Every structure is written in structure tokens, then in C-alpha cells.
Structure 1
Amino acid sequence: MIDFYTAGTPNGRKVAIMLEELAIPYTEHKVDLSKNEQKSPEFIEMNPNGRIPVIVDRQGPHNKEVTVFESGAILYYLAEKYGNFLGHSLAEKAHTLQWVMFQMSAIGPMFGNYHYGMNTLTPKNPAFIERFEKEALRLLGVMEIQLSKNEYLAGQVYTIADIATYPWIIGFIKSKPEWFESKPSVRRWAQLVGERPAVKKVLP
């Protein structure tokens, strides 16, 4: 059994999608970010960085309890444990993980900062917003090139790279449709991933 500590953010949703894709039993524990529950001593014991998501696998390797934080690390752990959505050879795994890292190091921070600049930062800082919008658009261009040649981000097979990236992209497809007017391959990919039953369950 897995205990899953999460909130309604893209990083939380990517792990929820993975758990649903694997069809494994888990218990979801909602963490109220507005009350800073992620900074409580109990939560810090699980994740010293005080961020969601976190999983606690009560039946980890050798039947020992394992706690994993950071969404990318959680996706990797689950993919390795259950032998799915990662690839089999070292080359396949590396190819998948490079696109997971692309999401973690680029898509998440750049899109997240743009959202922060538009919706939270006061007073508004046009230079801040412009910087992150330009970088977000550049990253979409990278995705467009990759997806114009491949069915999914890491190739022809659905992987944790798609699971990691989709929750970030779909929100912006809805809020910033003009960004995607010249990105038909990204839109095609988002529609394909969005039709999966596990994705629909998490993001109806």
C-alpha cells in the first residue's frame, strides 16, 4: 500500500496519474497548502524541503518502508518498481529520463514563474513576465520539434516523460491558447494523452 501526500498542483497531479496508470492501491492524503501543512514538523519528517508530493511505500524493496519526495524521483521509483512507462534498456531509460529532466528543470520552473508573475506577483513586473513568457514559448518550440517526429515525448511509447509534462501543458493550453496556435504537434500530443482513462480520472 502506498500513502500519497498531495495537493491540486501539476506536480501532485503527475504522480496521481502515474498511480492510476499503474492501477495499484494507494491512499491519498490531501495537504492544505493554504494552511502551510507542508511545512508542519510531521511533513518535514517526510520531505525536508517541505513540498508536495510525497509517497510512502509501505511495501518497498525487501518489504521495507520507503519514503520518496520530488515528483520526478517518485515517477522514476514507481516506474522501476513496477517495470512500466520507463523503458527496458539503459539507453531507453536514459532517453526517457532526459525528457523527464526537461520538464523538471525547464517546463516546470519557466511556466511556473510565468504563472506567478501573471497571477501572484504584486506590483506587476512586465519585464519579469516577458522573460518567462519568451522562455516558455521557446520550450514549446522544443516540444513541437520533438513531437513532430515522435508520437510521444520520449519516442513512440507513452512514458513517465509524458506523465510528468502533461499536467503542466494542459493548463496553459486552456489559459493561453494563442501560445499553441503554431504548435499542432503539441496539441495533437496533448489530446492523445488527455484521452487516457487514468489521465481523465485525475484531470476530468
Structure 2
Amino acid sequence: MLDLYSWATPNGHKVHIMLEECGLPYKVIPVDIGAGAQFEPKFLALSPNNKIPALVDSDGPDGQPIHLFESGAILLYLAGKTGRFLPQDTCGKYEVLQWLMFQVGGVGPMLGQAHHFRLYAREKVDYAIQRYTSEAQRLYSVMNKRLAVSKYIGGPDYSIADIAIFPWLRSWKNQGVTLNDYIHLKGWFDEIAGRHAVQRGLRVLADQRKPLQDDLAHEILFGDTQIKQHKPT
């Protein structure tokens, strides 16, 4: 059995979708990040960076338990465990992996900053809003150009690169993007959104998610609470 510690965020949904696509049995343990559950000792033992998701596989390699944090690493683990959504040939595998790294190092962090400065920052910083909105639009253009010459982000077949990127693009309006401006990306987005496993994955914990703009949630997510958890001892 797989135990998934998660919440209804883009990074959480990446793993929810992967588990649904693979048809693996799993149990979800909610980690309410707006209430500070990510700082509980049990969760920090699994995810020392206090970020969701984290995965525990009681039947890991050689039958031994394994636990993992970081959504990209979890996607790679599940692809290896099931032999799905990552090509076996070397060239195909690395074609997918470079786009997975594109999501982990670019799409997630930059669109996350766009969300923060456009929606959550109490002080509206024009430079930051413009900086991250422009970067969001640039990244959408990169993906649109890729999909003009490739059926899927990582190549000819649906892969963990698509699974990783899709949840981040669902909030395109909040990122200052008009999805219809990117015709190839829009077609890809609509196709992925229509997959039944994707729809099931997006429903995981969706009914428990709350607005993150009250004072307590804002302090937990963006204030000194984060820093205090990691002060040198």
C-alpha cells in the first residue's frame, strides 16, 4: 500500500494524477498546509523541507519500505515501479527527463512566484508582478513552441512530463496568461484535462482545500513560521 501525504495543490495533484493513471492502490493523508500541518514532526520526518507531497511505499525496492519527498522524485519512483509514462530507451527517457526538469526548475517556481505576487502578497510590488507575469508568459511560449512540433511535452507519448506540468497551468488566469493565445498548448491542455485519470486525480482532497488568504494561513505559508522551523540549533 502507498501512503500519500498531500494537499490539493499543483504539486500534490501531480502525484494524485500519476497514481490514478497507474491504477495503484493508495491512501491519502491530508496535510493542511494553511493550518500548519506540514510542520508536524511526523510529516517533517518524511519531508524535511516541510513541503507536500511525501510518499511512503511499504512495499518498496526488494520488499523494503521507502519514503520520498519532492513531487518530481515521486513521479520518477512511480514510473520506475510501474514501468509506465517514462520511455525505456535512453534517448526517449532523457527527452522526457529534460522536460520534467523544466517543470521542476522553471514552471513550478516561476508560476508559483507569479501566484504569490499577483494574489497573495500583502504589499503589491509592481516590479515583482511584472517580472513574474512576463516570465509566466515566456514559459507558456516555450511550451507552445514545443507542442507545435511534438504531440506531448516529452515526446510522442504521454509521460510524467505532461503529468508534472498540467496541474500548474490550470491557474493560467491567476498567472496573467490568456491560454487561447497559445494555440498548441491550449489543444494539449484540453486533451489532458479530458483524461479520466486526470479528472479523478484533480478531485483528490479538492473538497478540503480552503482559501489561503486569511491572516493565519498567510503567516504560516509566507511569514516567519517557515524560517523558525529551520533555524540552526
TM class by shorter-chain length?
Answer: over 0.9
**CA–CA distance in 2 between the matches of 1:67 and 1:76?**
13
Which residue is equivalent to 2:221?
A: none
Q: Secondary structure at the match of 1:84?
A: coil
- Tell me if 1:59 matches 2:59: yes
The Cα of 1:92 is off from its aligned counterpart by 1.2
**CA–CA distance in 2 between the matches of 1:12 and 1:178?**
22
Which residue is equivalent to 2:181?
A: 182
**CA–CA distance in 1 between the matches of 2:176 and 2:81?**
37
**CA–CA distance in 2 between the matches of 1:42 and 1:203?**
25
**CA–CA distance in 2 between the matches of 1:171 and 1:20?**
21
Alignment of 1:38-187 (within 5 A): 38-172=38-172, 175=174, 179-187=178-186
Gaps of 5+ in 1: none
The Cα of 1:163 is off from its aligned counterpart by 0.2
**CA–CA distance in 1 between the matches of 2:57 and 2:40?**
21
- Please, what TM-score do these two structures have when normalized by structure 2? 0.84
Amino acid at match of 1:139: L
The Cα of 1:156 is off from its aligned counterpart by 1.2
The Cα of 1:180 is off from its aligned counterpart by 2.1
The Cα of 1:43 is off from its aligned counterpart by 0.7
**CA–CA distance in 1 between the matches of 2:202 and 2:171?**
10
- Structure 2 CA distance for partners of 1:129 and 1:176, relative to 1, 3 Å: closer
Aligned length: 203
**CA–CA distance in 2 between the matches of 1:32 and 1:197?**
26
Which residue is equivalent to 2:198?
A: 199
**CA–CA distance in 1 between the matches of 2:174 and 2:110?**
16
Sequence identity (%): 40
Which residue is equivalent to 2:16?
A: 16
**CA–CA distance in 2 between the matches of 1:180 and 1:26?**
33
The Cα of 1:151 is off from its aligned counterpart by 1.0
Q: Secondary structure at the match of 1:74?
A: helix
**CA–CA distance in 1 between the matches of 2:99 and 2:26?**
26
Q: Deviations over 1:136-194 (max 9, x none)?
A: 1111111011001111101110000000000001221x546852232000000001111
- Structure 2 CA distance for partners of 1:177 and 1:41, relative to 1, 3 Å: closer
**CA–CA distance in 2 between the matches of 1:139 and 1:79?**
25
Which residue is equivalent to 1:37?
A: 37
**CA–CA distance in 1 between the matches of 2:185 and 2:113?**
21
Q: Deviations over 1:7-43 (max 9, x none)?
A: 0100000000000000010000110112211111111
**CA–CA distance in 2 between the matches of 1:141 and 1:24?**
34
Q: Secondary structure at the match of 1:181?
A: helix
Q: Secondary structure at the match of 1:86?
A: coil
Amino acid at match of 2:101: M
Gaps of 5+ in 2: 204-233
**CA–CA distance in 2 between the matches of 1:37 and 1:113?**
22
Q: Which moved more, 1:194-203 or 1:19-28?
A: 194-203
